[in-house]
């Protein structure tokens, strides 16, 4: 503190009090800050001169503990720097924390989204499988033999969904043998009969095996189901899939997968009795599986099941000859495992080729829909046979032509469900974000979708609408299993 010259002190001391000492009341009021300004100035002047009164004031100050009653230090309020300083620090911390939380959520969300999408896909498949059960029954009569395999395959998937599939299966069993033979033929001709879509009311699961020996396969499946079942409960129980049909369909899907695993087997066709047994087994095991899968989580379950089923399939079946489309089939299972985490973006290039990007559009890769195409000549033929006889050949040709990479015009994707449409009625569908494709042939009332696909709208995996250049409008409500022409 600065010092004043002592002569100043002397002069200060020399000052004499002007008036008499203020009484106790006034001094008290001074200490308690309740004097008016004029009076306060007067008291201050006296205090400046009178050391005794200064002493009295100093002594009469309240103890610092109870300074609340006589607050000599004015209340600083909230906006003083010390308080603000900490307020700023706290605000900064909160901002950083909220950023961190948001980033974490963002990174977690795509995973969840894709998982959810995969789940929806499963649900869609299940519903699709169950929905056209009745449809299956109807066209059963009209259907050619060639369709039986598909129907049967469908039955594979839908087994356990309802009584109908059972009936259907039984019905089909009657034609099991010829069908089996047919399937043998089919399998010999073309490795993969999977993903045969668009048959008339014939909802064929994509994962339908190449054809050979569904009953035997089912037997295989049965053997494999227990392991699958064991795994399923281990998966997160977040089951949103509706019970019953969907579960059954889900089961069916998985048995499809399982089927796929053993698809390539060229096992001798089981006898009818065997078939029946296997059917019965299938039913029961499917129902078991259904209950298991009713608690299955979304993407995880299929993954677990599929990968798990791959192993037991290998063990149980013994001859684990993978179908000729080996890598693809296996790959599909594993792709399904990875799909939830990686959803690409889709586009059509200027030259009409389908492209996808896994890095939000930085780089694009061409997608060859035929590389993993499940399209087989047999299915082509089967499809062709749905048309009127006179169109058969032309359609067949058209279809064959279309087997070559089509020129795409439009693509739409819902999670890992991708639909791509192009010229000459080319319509492809992938359920695994483009790793495997199925050619879809919308067909209704004996007519097929023709013309260039100009627009694809899928509000959800089940419901879609196609507009063509003909112009035609086709809609589906079951993820492309059946189509209606508007």
Partner 1 sequence: MSSTKQNSAVQSIVNDLLVELHARSGCEKIGLTRESFAVILCEVGTKHATATTSETEIRSFFLTLRVDELALARACAGGNNSAWEIFLTRYREKLYLSALRIAREDSAARDLADTLYADLYGTSTRDGQRVSKLSSYTGRGSLEGWLRTVLAQEYVNRYRRTKRLVSLDEESEDGVQFCAPDPEPAPAADTRLEQATDEALALLSAEDRMVLSAYYLDERTLAEIARMLGVHESTISRKLDKLAKALRKQILGNLVRRGMSRRQAEESMDVDVRDLQVNIKRTLTQESSPPAFSEKRAEARVREGSG
The residues that touch partner 1, with contacts defined as CB under 8 A, are: 1-15, 23-29, 31-36, 41-42, 44-45, 47-49, 51-52, 54-64, 67, 69-74
CA–CA dist 305, 303 (Å, integer)? 5
Q: Which residues of 208-237 are buried (b: 16+ CB within 10 A; e: fewer)?
A: bbbbbbbbbbbbbbbbbbebbbebbeebee
CA–CA dist 114, 120 (Å, integer)? 9
**146 within 8 A of 442, measured Cβ to Cβ:** no
CA–CA dist 241, 78 (Å, integer)? 56
CA–CA dist 2, 452 (Å, integer)? 96
Distances (CA, A) of 198 to 136, 263, 384, 454, 481: 13, 22, 11, 19, 5
**Quick one: which of 386, 184, 322 has its CA closest to 176?**
184
Distances (CA, A) of 391 to 131, 136, 378, 381, 432: 29, 24, 17, 12, 33
What are 16's two structure tokens? 């004499």
**152 within 8 A of 170, measured Cβ to Cβ:** no
Distances (CA, A) of 399 to 24, 377, 472: 114, 9, 18
**In the complex, least distance from residue 99 CB atom to partner 1, rounded to whole angstroms:** 38
**Quick one: which of 267, 273, 173 has its CA closest to 221?**
267
φ and ψ at residue 430, rounded to 5 degrees: -130, 140
Nearer to partner 1 by Cβ, of 5 and 20: the residue is 5
CA–CA dist 291, 373 (Å, integer)? 32
What are 96's two structure tokens? 């950083």
**In the complex, least distance from residue 84 CB atom to partner 1, rounded to whole angstroms:** 17
Residues 6+ apart with CB under 8 A from 226: 285
CA–CA dist 64, 49 (Å, integer)? 26
**In the complex, least distance from residue 61 CB atom to partner 1, rounded to whole angstroms:** 5
């Amino acid at each position: 503190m600065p010092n004043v010259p002592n002569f100043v002190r002397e002069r200060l001391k020399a000052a004499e009090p002007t008036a008499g000492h203020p009484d106790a009341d006034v001094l008290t009021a001074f200490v308690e800050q309740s004097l008016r300004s004029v009076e306060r100035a007067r008291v201050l002047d006296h205090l400046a001169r009178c050391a005794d009164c200064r002493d009295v004031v100093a002594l009469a100050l309240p103890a610092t503990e109870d300074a609340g009653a006589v607050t000599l230090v004015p209340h600083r309020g909230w906006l003083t720097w010390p308080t603000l300083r900490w307020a700023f620090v706290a605000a900064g911390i909160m901002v950083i924390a909220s950023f961190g939380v948001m980033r974490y959520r963002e990174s977690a969300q795509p995973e969840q989204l894709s998982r959810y999408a995969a789940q929806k896909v499963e649900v869609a498949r299940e519903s699709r499988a169950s929905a056209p059960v009745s449809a299956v029954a109807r066209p059963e009569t009209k259907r050619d033999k060639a369709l039986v395999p598909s129907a049967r395959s469908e039955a594979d998937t839908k087994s356990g969904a309802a009584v109908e599939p059972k009936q259907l299966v039984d019905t089909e069993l009657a034609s099991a043998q010829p069908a089996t033979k047919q399937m043998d033929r089919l399998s010999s001709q073309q490795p993969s009969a999977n993903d045969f879509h668009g048959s008339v009311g014939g909802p064929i699961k994509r994962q339908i095996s190449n054809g050979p020996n569904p009953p035997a396969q089912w037997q295989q499946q049965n053997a494999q189901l227990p392991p699958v079942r064991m795994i399923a409960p281990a998966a997160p129980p977040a089951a949103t899939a509706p019970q019953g049909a969907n579960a059954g369909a889900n089961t069916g899907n998985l048995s499809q997968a399982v089927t796929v695993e053993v698809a390539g087997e060229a096992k001798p066709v089981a006898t009818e009795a065997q078939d029946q047994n296997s059917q019965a087994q299938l039913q029961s095991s499917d129902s078991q599986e259904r209950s298991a899968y009713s608690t299955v989580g979304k993407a995880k379950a299929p993954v677990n099941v599929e990968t798990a089923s791959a192993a037991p399939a290998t063990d149980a079946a013994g001859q684990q000859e993978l179908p000729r489309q080996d890598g693809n089939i296996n790959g599909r299972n594993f792709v399904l495992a990875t799909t939830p985490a990686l959803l690409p973006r889709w586009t059509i290039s200027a030259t009409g080729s389908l492209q996808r990007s896994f890095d939000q559009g930085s780089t694009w890769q061409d997608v060859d829909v035929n590389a993993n195409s499940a399209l087989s000549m047999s299915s082509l033929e089967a499809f062709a046979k749905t048309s009127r006889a006179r169109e058969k050949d032309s359609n067949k040709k058209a279809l064959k032509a279309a087997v070559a990479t089509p020129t795409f015009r439009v693509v739409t994707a819902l999670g890992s469900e991708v639909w791509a449409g192009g010229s000459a009625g080319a319509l492809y569908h992938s359920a695994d974000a483009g790793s495997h494709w199925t050619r879809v042939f919308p067909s209704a009332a004996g007519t097929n979708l023709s013309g260039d696909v100009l627009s694809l709208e899928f509000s959800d995996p089940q419901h879609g609408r196609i507009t063509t250049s003909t112009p035609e409008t086709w809609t589906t409500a079951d993820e492309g299993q059946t189509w209606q022409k508007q």
